[in-house]
Structure 1
Amino acid sequence: MTNSRPKKYGLKNLDCAACAAKLEAKLNEIESVDKAVVDFATMTLLITAKDVADIEAKVKSIEPDVDIIDYATLSASSQAAEEERNFPHDLILLAIAGAMFVFTLVYEDVFHQTRFEGWELPFVLVAYFIAGWNVLLGALKTIRKGVFFDENVLMTIATIGAIAIHAYPEAVGIMIFFKIGELLQGFAVNRSRRSIRSLLASKPDKAFLLELDGLKETAPEMVQVGQLVVVKPGDKIPLDGEVTSGSSQIDTSALTGESVPVSVEDGDAVLAGQICKTGALTIRVTRPFEESSIAKVMDLVENATANKAKVEKFITRFSRYYTPAVVVAAAGIAFIPPLFFGGSLNDWVYRALVLLVISCPCALVVSIPLGYFGGIGRSSMQGILVKGANYLDVLASVTSVAFDKTGTLTEGVFKVNDIVPNEGVSKERLLEFAAAAEFHSTHPIATSIVDIYTAQGKPVAESLISEHTVRSGMGVDVTYDGHTVLVGNNALMKKYGIEFENEDYDGTIAHIAIDGKYAGYIVIGDSIRTDARQAVSALKNLGVNEVVMLTGDNEKVATAVSKSLGLDGFHAGLLPEDKVDLFDKLTRGSEQSGKVAFVGDGINDAPVIARADVGIAMGALGSDAAVETADVVLMVDSPLKVAEAISIAKQTRRIVWQNIILAFVVKGIFISFGAFGLATMWEAVFADVGTALLALANSARILRG
């Protein structure tokens, strides 16, 4: 049976990007594996397979030295400790090798003034082996695996080649500086990894279950729906639930990115991962932990690396050919020119060694995935869940944004403003029949009608309701107390051939017909979100050319909202299928200029969200359907987050391309200089290591904003 959900593992002892690429390629060749993604930047394996039970054996058969660990059992602290365990040991060895190397250079130049004769040569070679023993060992292991072009192999060939032509200082110095750069690079990568992992540290690790004999500490995964948990000040809320007693200020920043605490009391909903700040709360659990909000956040962020950007895929493919091509070129430079152009063989070999030193694409292979994952991590810090690097790329190219109106640009909290019965129908009867028709509906308009009726102390006679049918995008028809009742918009009345009054109101009109005759209408109002105008302005400043609104509401309401927000246009009176057709036209119209995003609630607008270049569900964390359908999930009801998501995506793309240009320019210069004898091995190793460190530091900027 196919395992539809991917399984995630942590990887240990995966030493090179080439090995990671090989592991991914080989795993994807296995028939039982549907998809495998190895991320060298985050040291993880995400795999979907018919049987993951023997995955460790499969990995071992490809990379014998690599260990895999169930990702769920890892913590950020344990991973950081594992990553930095060897750092002091390597630093001490480098210090010893460096001291020996410097002493030898000083002794030769100042005291002896000969070129490494007698005991000095073995002294230098000892320094070489102390500094590079793990590089040499890594090269042997890599060659044994059939990988001939990773950084360890290239550096081994380059330094042994330098020794062969008696360039001893270069051989030892390059090995020392390469190892220093490798340590600094590892430190920078680990720091970025820890920063990203810290985003996931909001997972609650304990819950205090309220039982008859007191509180019992347990894991959140063990708590059942309906049970009561107590959360003390300073503790994380362990599961989604409803407050049954107590009041408190809660910190929601781990989920929403909002720094201002929110007050909660009896009856309010709370989410796992939020922090109780001021008072104790008793909470009735409404969802098991695996379905909780924090679990969804962690799942989306952790699995986002599976959806790689086109640039990432290109760099992976490019690195497979770039390094072998440079090695072949180096071999050609070493041995062909002496046959035709003369000159010292040592001189041409030296030029070839410069090419080998500069040929590793580490600056690209490590920094670019780390840059994208940093962008995903930064987004999640702001309450924006992006499902993959590919969607960051699309967001960065968005030039048109289409918003749904209700609950997106407006609050979605409706209030009945007027009840207008037709002649011969009382207000009370009109409201009673409308409330009965809308009783089983969860639409905000329906809720507002039912609420105003029940607020008068008159419960809806549910037993009298039968044959409830929802007419998508139009309204409902039911049988109530033997009468056929229709409640909906103009389209519903037209569908059943009912003549109605088309009054000019600033609000949404719900028409009511009873037994085929028009009975009147109810006017419902909705207010525009406070940050909606700011969101439209921010999108324009980011280069979005067109911001439009798609709504099923009437023309007058749509005109008022559009004018208030400064939109570029709107389309009113749309049914769900109309929105899809219209959105297809918008997408076709923008094919040459950019991508189109759609922003909705993720449930009623699911078909449009699925059709968009990038679908954004706003304030929909509590909905499994929204999380499943959308490419980007905004955890708060704020259209301004759309602009923030595009801003982060643009910054991520800008930094990624800066790294690409930096690496290509530097390597291109030194390959050219090396071929013409204008660069030394010292300069090449500084350029190679320096480029990688600059690219990593540049990628880390994404997390800082």
Structure 2
Amino acid sequence: MAEESLKETTCSCCGGAGEHEHHHHHDDDALDLDKIGTCSCCAGDDDDDEEEEEMPLWTLIVGTLLFLVTYLTDLIPEAFSLPAYIVAYLFLGYGVLREAGENILKRQPFDENFLMAIATIGAFCIGDYPEAVAVMLFSRIGEAMEEKAVHRSRKQVAAAIDLRPEVVQRLNEDGTTTEIPAKEAAVGDVVAVRVGDRIPLDGIVVAGDSLIDTSALTGEPVPVACREGSEVLSGSINTSGVLHVKVTKPLAESMVTKILESVEKAAARKPKIDRFITRFARIYTPAVVAIAVGTAVIPSLVTGHWNYWIYTALTFLVISCPCALVLSVPLSFFAGIGAASKQGILFKGGIAIEQMKRIGAVVFDKTGTITKGNFVVHQVESADNRSDDDVLALCASAEQASNHPIARSVVAQACERGLTLTEPSAIEEIAGQGLRANVGGHLVLCGNQRLMDAQKITMPELTATEYGSELYVAVDGEYAGRLVISDTIKEDAVDAVKAISQMGITTAMLTGDSQQAADYIASKTGIDDVRAKLLPQDKVDQMDSLRRKYGPVLFVGDGINDAPVLAGADVGAAMGSGADAAVEAADVVFMHSRVSAVPAALHLSKETMKIAMENVIFALGVKAVVMIAGFAGYASMWAAVFADSGVAALCVLNSVRMLYKK
């Protein structure tokens, strides 16, 4: 979808679109990964910005000083006032005049540059020199404010997610390293990652042991251990030991690049309100010119007051400039994207922000979304002749050699309690049931109910657990106890679900887990509607059912099996720690994988749309009032300047408020 929209995209900072360019933006300006959501004239690194802004800033200062000295003082003789105004006008308005001329040559004259050019040149013709210069002055001030706001929001997006490396240290056959640009690293190359460095590319560790800080990608503060054979993702930080990583994906396909590309496409996926303004401008501008010509000519032929009606027409042209709309609406969405990125929420486009405002239900996946997707020993129940620690130590000793997530959780719990483990011998895994091992001369069985039945272990009457998997333990043919192991609900899940409900939005959960497990999670978190034991294709059907019942749906998931539902939802949101397929299919990515990001994103979307609509209503409202006053003879060129550049500046300032939202 985003790719199809690229041909008619607007620049996210200035709103320049296709044949309707704005402030020196051209059709052939290409979106670049380093210039997040902006056209080439708005983007670039800081050094380039300084070089590009040096001359315009100088002309702005000189033009402003010359205008103020001429208009407010007697330092310039009256005979030289017209040349002084003309020089100030050219310093301040050369960009607008140049753009208007270029558009006329391209046979695309009808834009705000054309309106300002003919209005100000006409003002010179009828002797209103200060008003003509003032139009250009306030236009330049508004443009400078816009550029400052865009630069700030772009830097916030970039600071939040731009983790891509400039260079990598490639290992040579003789053991030395060569520094090469990251984009030149090929699949199969081995790169060295020193302590404190970011892992530059996705790959597999071929040498070294370390702890990896993945907080930039997942938001999880606990470092993850990695060793030879471990898969590592670009953007993570190597914290404790030198690693040699074999590249499995080039820079263009790495995790951080995929995330950056998603944000870059934000400008390409235009919200409906933005598309409306683009279509509106195509009809609006020539209509305004026609009305102005009619205003200047028809009443003048009747009354003979050519000077008055020409002035009224020129005032009307200045009032009608659509700068405020062209500037503020795209900037509102880009500011919203920038504000969200500070919270680790990456909107892939304005459409997602706009659509999220209408959400009637938030639908969660369970594992990895509401829960952490890990296994933790929540309860140990021992037989009468044994202690809980004894049962846990025996089970953990037998499970030490297993890589199964449940086995690792048992060992982790035993270590957390400080229990001493015995190295097992004669380990035998029994598929689908568990394992048998010799621990300190005792035959230990660890597994499910089927293992106990198969080994003819006499079981006492046990109360069914409310939620979780049961791991039974038998020692030397006698039942010793059981461990209850379950996934862990994320710490912020309860508060997040409550916040969503307070917005008047229904919460639901779709999961492939058992109905018992789903009901338990729902009861603990306060989720309204639960649908369990679902296959991936069933989730799509159930989501359609929820949409019919509650309205537009936001689906939040993290697994490969969630990708079809994410793509089919009105808005799909993926946890950043989830599968690549889920992240690719989503409209929004929660980099920190926190449930609290969901109500935060909903709130940000409402605020962004509110500000965008405030700008539209305010700009059109002020223009309408001043237009009516102008036709009635009560609005001067100064009022027109405020209705154009003044309103644009106020709308830009209103949009920038999004960057300070908490």
Give the TM-score category using the shorter length: 0.7 to 0.9
Q: Does 1:588 align with 2:557?
A: no
Displacement after TM superposition at 1:358 (Å): 1.8
User: Pairwise mapping of residues 206-285 of structure 1 onto structure 2 (< 5 A)?
Assistant: 206-211=167-172, 212-225=174-187, 227-241=189-203, 244-247=207-210, 250=213, 252-253=215-216, 255-256=217-218, 262=223, 264=225, 266=227, 270-276=232-238, 279-285=240-246
- What CA distance in whole angstroms lies between the structure 1 residues aligned with 2:16 and 2:290? 32
Displacement after TM superposition at 1:153 (Å): 1.6
- What CA distance in whole angstroms lies between the structure 2 residues aligned with 1:597 and 1:295? 25
Aligned to 2:427: 458
Aligned to 2:273: 311
Displacement after TM superposition at 1:366 (Å): 2.6
The alignment partner of 1:39 has SS state of coil
Aligned residues: 590
- What CA distance in whole angstroms lies between the structure 2 residues aligned with 1:664 and 1:233? 57
Aligned to 2:521: 561
Aligned to 1:19: none
The alignment partner of 2:8 has SS state of strand
Q: Are the structure 2 counterparts of residues 290 and 135 from structure 1 closer, same or farther at C-alpha, using a change threshold of 3 Å? A: closer
2:498 partner amino acid: S
- What CA distance in whole angstroms lies between the structure 1 residues aligned with 2:623 and 2:134? 20
Q: Is the 8 A contact 1:412 1:444 kept in 2?
A: no
Aligned to 1:655: 611
Aligned to 2:9: 38
2:512 pairs with 535, 545, 552, which one?
Answer: 552
Q: Does 1:401 align with 2:362?
A: yes
The alignment partner of 2:427 has SS state of coil
Q: Is the 8 A contact 2:347 2:589 kept in 1?
A: yes
Displacement after TM superposition at 1:311 (Å): 1.0
Q: Are the structure 2 counterparts of residues 311 and 444 from structure 1 closer, same or farther at C-alpha, using a change threshold of 3 Å? A: farther
2:119 pairs with 138, 144, 158, which one?
Answer: 158
Deviation digits for residues 634-661 of structure 1 (CA, Å, limit 9, x no counterpart): 3344222222222222222222222222
Q: Is the 8 A contact 2:615 2:654 kept in 1?
A: yes
Q: Are the structure 2 counterparts of residues 602 and 170 from structure 1 closer, same or farther at C-alpha, using a change threshold of 3 Å? A: same
- What CA distance in whole angstroms lies between the structure 1 residues aligned with 2:160 and 2:371? 31
Q: Does 1:694 align with 2:657?
A: no
Displacement after TM superposition at 1:96 (Å): 3.9
Range moving further from structure 2, 365-374 or 140-149: 365-374
Deviation digits for residues 419-443 of structure 1 (CA, Å, limit 9, x no counterpart): 9xxxxxxxxxxx9xxx9xxx9xx99
1:319 partner amino acid: A
Displacement after TM superposition at 1:294 (Å): 0.7
The alignment partner of 2:561 has SS state of coil
Aligned to 2:257: 295
Aligned to 1:132: 93
Displacement after TM superposition at 1:87 (Å): 3.1
Q: Are the structure 2 counterparts of residues 349 and 249 from structure 1 closer, same or farther at C-alpha, using a change threshold of 3 Å? A: same
The alignment partner of 2:594 has SS state of coil
Q: Does 1:93 align with 2:93?
A: no
Q: Are the structure 2 counterparts of residues 238 and 328 from structure 1 closer, same or farther at C-alpha, using a change threshold of 3 Å? A: same
- What CA distance in whole angstroms lies between the structure 1 residues aligned with 2:424 and 2:16? 56
Deviation digits for residues 254-287 of structure 1 (CA, Å, limit 9, x no counterpart): x3567x57465546654322344x5443142353
- What CA distance in whole angstroms lies between the structure 2 residues aligned with 1:536 and 1:36? 39
- What CA distance in whole angstroms lies between the structure 1 residues aligned with 2:20 and 2:131? 38
The alignment partner of 2:7 has SS state of strand
Deviation digits for residues 178-208 of structure 1 (CA, Å, limit 9, x no counterpart): 3344344444444444444444542111112
Deviation digits for residues 377-420 of structure 1 (CA, Å, limit 9, x no counterpart): 4334433332221111122222311222223222322468899x
Give unpaired runs (5+ residues) of structure 2.
Answer: 37-41, 382-394, 414-422, 434-446, 450-460, 472-481
Aligned to 2:333: 372
- What CA distance in whole angstroms lies between the structure 1 residues aligned with 2:540 and 2:155? 42
Q: Is the 8 A contact 1:241 1:271 kept in 2?
A: yes
Q: Is the 8 A contact 2:362 2:555 kept in 1?
A: yes
2:580 pairs with 607, 613, 624, which one?
Answer: 624
The alignment partner of 2:267 has SS state of helix
- What CA distance in whole angstroms lies between the structure 2 residues aligned with 1:126 and 1:699? 33
Displacement after TM superposition at 1:343 (Å): 6.8
Give unpaired runs (5+ residues) of structure 1.
Answer: 7-32, 48-57, 420-430, 466-474, 476-486, 490-500, 512-520
Aligned to 1:50: none
Q: Are the structure 2 counterparts of residues 673 and 80 from structure 1 closer, same or farther at C-alpha, using a change threshold of 3 Å? A: farther
Q: Are the structure 2 counterparts of residues 694 and 290 from structure 1 closer, same or farther at C-alpha, using a change threshold of 3 Å? A: same
Deviation digits for residues 345-373 of structure 1 (CA, Å, limit 9, x no counterpart): 21222121111112221222232222223
User: Pairwise mapping of residues 48-447 of structure 1 onto structure 2 (< 5 A)?
Assistant: 68=29, 71=32, 78-105=44-71, 118-199=79-160, 201-211=162-172, 212-225=174-187, 227-241=189-203, 244-247=207-210, 250=213, 252-253=215-216, 255-256=217-218, 262=223, 264=225, 266=227, 270-276=232-238, 279-285=240-246, 287-288=248-249, 289-340=251-302, 342=303, 344-414=305-375
- What CA distance in whole angstroms lies between the structure 2 residues aligned with 1:457 and 1:530? 41
Deviation digits for residues 222-252 of structure 1 (CA, Å, limit 9, x no counterpart): 4455654333355332123456535457473
Q: Does 1:614 align with 2:571?
A: yes
- What CA distance in whole angstroms lies between the structure 2 residues aligned with 1:555 and 1:206? 50
- What CA distance in whole angstroms lies between the structure 2 residues aligned with 1:89 and 1:616? 44
Displacement after TM superposition at 1:35 (Å): 5.5
Aligned to 2:452: none
Q: RMSD value over aligned CA atoms?
A: 4.5
Q: Is the 8 A contact 1:505 1:556 kept in 2?
A: no
Aligned to 1:680: 636
- What CA distance in whole angstroms lies between the structure 2 residues aligned with 1:414 and 1:107? 79
- What CA distance in whole angstroms lies between the structure 2 residues aligned with 1:460 and 1:45? 65
Q: Is the 8 A contact 2:157 2:341 kept in 1?
A: no
Aligned to 1:597: 554
Q: Is the 8 A contact 2:15 2:330 kept in 1?
A: no
The alignment partner of 1:656 has SS state of helix
1:547 partner amino acid: T
Deviation digits for residues 649-701 of structure 1 (CA, Å, limit 9, x no counterpart): 22222222222222122222222222222211122213321222222233233
- What CA distance in whole angstroms lies between the structure 2 residues aligned with 1:400 and 1:624? 25
Aligned to 1:493: none
Q: Does 1:646 align with 2:602?
A: yes
Q: Is the 8 A contact 2:576 2:583 kept in 1?
A: no
Identity of aligned residues (%): 39
Q: Are the structure 2 counterparts of residues 79 and 356 from structure 1 closer, same or farther at C-alpha, using a change threshold of 3 Å? A: farther
Q: Are the structure 2 counterparts of residues 444 and 661 from structure 1 closer, same or farther at C-alpha, using a change threshold of 3 Å? A: farther
- What CA distance in whole angstroms lies between the structure 2 residues aligned with 1:443 and 1:620? 20
Q: Is the 8 A contact 1:398 1:544 kept in 2?
A: no
The alignment partner of 1:573 has SS state of coil
- What CA distance in whole angstroms lies between the structure 2 residues aligned with 1:601 and 1:184? 40
Displacement after TM superposition at 1:317 (Å): 1.0
Range moving further from structure 2, 136-145 or 85-94: 85-94
- What CA distance in whole angstroms lies between the structure 1 residues aligned with 2:517 and 2:365? 13
- What CA distance in whole angstroms lies between the structure 1 residues aligned with 2:136 and 2:348? 41
Q: Is the 8 A contact 2:467 2:520 kept in 1?
A: no
- What CA distance in whole angstroms lies between the structure 1 residues aligned with 2:208 and 2:463? 47
Range moving further from structure 2, 209-218 or 400-409: 209-218
Q: Is the 8 A contact 1:124 1:168 kept in 2?
A: yes
1:633 pairs with 584, 589, 596, which one?
Answer: 589
Structure with larger RCO (C-alpha < 8 A, sep 6+): 2
Displacement after TM superposition at 1:157 (Å): 0.8
Q: Is the 8 A contact 1:315 1:364 kept in 2?
A: yes
2:277 partner amino acid: I
Displacement after TM superposition at 1:301 (Å): 0.9
